[in-house]
Amino acid sequence: MAPVLLSLLWVGLAVSQATPLKVVKTGNTPNGFSNAPRGWNSFGLQANPSINPSFKFDQEHVTEQADALVANLPSSIFDTGDYYISLDSGWSVGANGDEYGRIVYDSSIFNISTLASYLHSKNLKLGVYILPGAFCNDGDKMIYGTNIPINATFSGNNDGFARCDFDFSKDGVQQWHDSVVGLFAVWGVDLIKLDYVTPGSPDNGGHLPANNSGSVIAYHNAIKGFGGAMRLDISWKLERNSTYLDIWEANADSMRTDQDINNSGSSSFVAWKTVQRAIENYRDFISGVVAASDQPTLTIHPDLDNLYVGNNQSITGVSDSMRETIATHWIGAGANLISGSDMTKLDALGIRLLSAPNALNVAQFTAQYPMQPRNPGTGQNKSQQLQAWIAGPSDNGTAVVVLANYGPDQGQGGFGTTYSGPQGVKVSWADLGIQGSYHISNVWTGADLGVFNSSFNATLDEGESQLLMLTPVNT
């Protein structure tokens, strides 16, 4: 090994310059949820059709995925009520609503009420995908329960996706959103994924307004009017400054911190360079939360996009150790755990990553205490190839720690280094901002690693990580 790599082998030997740890806490979301959603979303198979050529985006094949999810995972995990089957774009009629301009499903491929009832019978819930605005073609229709034509509420902007945007100061806008959520409630919808929210979302070939955050507020108010029984997940790569984070936190239950991470049109789901980008975007997000307050709190869960870990290496697109690292970081972030994998082709590792009891217990913990970066050797929060994270400690002193080697930066990781092969990562308690003795266990293997008093180290290959539970030792 080259001398420069030997000198870097045990990152963490420098005297720590760590600032005091500010524990991040997540409370109940605006619609009353204490955990991030789990389950399955259709987009990966829709965007990567060669992975499963037999999959068609219709009721039969979505039901097949739901049945496979239930059949392959332990039945007890669904008792939490947090598992959703989420339909992405294409379930609804594309350019017109019903007689009141409300979104309607494409009856040639779905019966949403029937699907919702079936999923509920399996202890699953239903999510649907929508965009801001109303169909421009419905402008002359009256908003349900009013004598207000829909076009009287428009701002004058056509977003390029068959929808006209609202002027949120006008009477009728909230009533239209109320009518849509009311219809969804009748159908049995449990989650709304609201895409193309701005500021944040790129135009992607359309003509989005600079700020349609009023749609997030209006949907939240509508959900609240119906008892807050639906989740609101907003996307994508949303603006995270204090002005808009306050809006997202006050109205949504989870928010996308990155763009789509799947390899659209490819024969595999995801590339490691894109995972590096997703982790970097989360690092930036949570670091901003920490910097903004002496007692940082959240009322929203991050959404790092679909969790592509269920299928073997050739289908997923990354190594098995990288699959585990993806699951580790999504869990550590307290993020949405909605898989985009093919549920009919889960392998043994995929089943473990989606259902291991120890890992799901950690997910319960990080839903309240999301992880933040603490650089080995300094305790700072900069982007690094060899990284440490801590979630908590909780009031009883329990903490979760992640050690990772992300491998060489493939262009979007933010850290820029290219250390190849196995690397040592050593983190001290000073780096993490904790003190005392801790009993440490490896969450994925279940191994009891013993009691440690001041530091912990691991040798990790490229893309490898460890998910550790730290329990304080009473002295």
SS3 at position 228? coil
171 is catalytic: no
What is the pLDDT at residue 474?
Answer: 83
Beta bridge partners of 337: 38
**Residue 475: pLDDT band by 50, 70, 90 thresholds?**
low
Element (H, E) at 199: none
Helix 173-187 vs helix 214-225: angle between axes, to the nearest 10 degrees?
A: 50
Residue 9 above 70 pLDDT? no
Q: What are the φ and ψ backbone dihedral angles of 309, each rounded to 5 degrees? A: -135, 0
d(CA 45, CA 51): 7
**CA-wise closest residue to 335 among 303, 290, 363, 300:** 303
How many other CB atoms are there within 10 angstroms of residue 54's CB atom?
8
The 10s digit of each residue's pLDDT in 333-386 is 999 999 999 999 999 999 999 999 999 999 999 999 999 999 999 999 999 999
Pairing of strands 154-158, 163-166: antiparallel
The 10s digit of each residue's pLDDT in 257-314 is 999 999 999 999 999 999 999 999 999 999 999 999 999 999 999 999 999 999 999 9
What is the pLDDT at residue 48?
Answer: 97
Where residue 434 falls (left for φ over 0; alpha for ψ -120 to 50; beta otherwise) is: beta
Q: Which two tokens stand for residue 254?
A: 């989870």
**Residue 13: pLDDT band by 50, 70, 90 thresholds?**
very low
Residue 8 above 60 pLDDT? no
d(CA 260, CA 270): 10
Task: Judge contact between 367 and 330, C-beta under 8 A.
Answer: no
**CA-wise closest residue to 42 among 52, 33, 32:** 52
Torsion of CA 155, 157, 162, 163, to 10 degrees: -30
- Catalytic member of 253, 260, 347, 409: 260
Over range 415-435, report the average pLDDT.
Answer: 98
**Residue 12: pLDDT band by 50, 70, 90 thresholds?**
very low
**Residue 227: pLDDT band by 50, 70, 90 thresholds?**
confident
Token look-up 């989606």 returns 354
pTM here is: 0.95
Helix 348-355 vs helix 320-332: angle between axes, to the nearest 10 degrees?
A: 10
Over range 158-167, report the average pLDDT.
Answer: 96
What is the pLDDT at residue 10?
Answer: 41
Stretch(es) of the chain classified as CATH 2.60.40.1180: 1-21+374-475
What is the pLDDT at residue 106?
Answer: 98
Over range 207-233, report the average pLDDT.
Answer: 95
Q: What are the φ and ψ backbone dihedral angles of 138, each rounded to 5 degrees? A: -95, 10
195 is catalytic: yes
**Residue 229: pLDDT band by 50, 70, 90 thresholds?**
confident
Contacting residues for 25 by C-beta, under 8 A, at least 6 apart:
295, 296, 297, 298, 368, 369
Length of the chain: 475
381-398 b/e (C-beta count within 10 Å ≥ 16 → b): bebbbbbbbbbbbeeeeb
Q: Which CATH architecture has domain 29-371?
A: Alpha-Beta Barrel (3.20)
Q: What is the percent of the chain where pLDDT is above 70?
A: 96
What is the pLDDT at residue 16?
Answer: 52
Residue 449 above 60 pLDDT? yes
**CA-wise closest residue to 131 among 91, 98, 170:** 91
Task: Judge contact between 118 and 63, C-beta under 8 A.
Answer: yes
d(CA 373, CA 388): 6
Q: Which two tokens stand for residue 104?
A: 């309607």
What is the pLDDT at residue 154?
Answer: 98
Stretch(es) of the chain classified as CATH 3.20.20.70: 29-371
The domain covering 1-21+374-475 belongs, at the CATH homologous superfamily level, to Golgi alpha-mannosidase II (2.60.40.1180)
Mean pLDDT of the chain: 95
**CA-wise closest residue to 427 among 475, 390, 464:** 390
Helices (H), 226-339: 242-251, 272-291, 313-316, 320-332
What is the pLDDT at residue 87?
Answer: 98
Over range 151-155, report the average pLDDT.
Answer: 98
d(CA 82, CA 237): 23
What is the pLDDT at residue 392?
Answer: 98
How many other CB atoms are there within 10 angstroms of residue 8's CB atom?
17
Q: What is the percent of the chain where pLDDT is above 90?
A: 94
Over range 133-159, report the average pLDDT.
Answer: 97
Widest pairwise Cα distance in the chain: 77
Q: Which two tokens stand for residue 246?
A: 């306050």
- Catalytic member of 82, 178, 190, 195: 195
Helix 214-225 vs helix 242-251: angle between axes, to the nearest 10 degrees?
A: 20
Residue 125 above 90 pLDDT? yes
The 10s digit of each residue's pLDDT in 16-72 is 568 999 999 999 999 999 999 999 999 999 999 999 999 999 999 999 999 999 999
What is the pLDDT at residue 228?
Answer: 73
Q: What are the φ and ψ backbone dihedral angles of 176, each rounded to 5 degrees? A: -65, -45
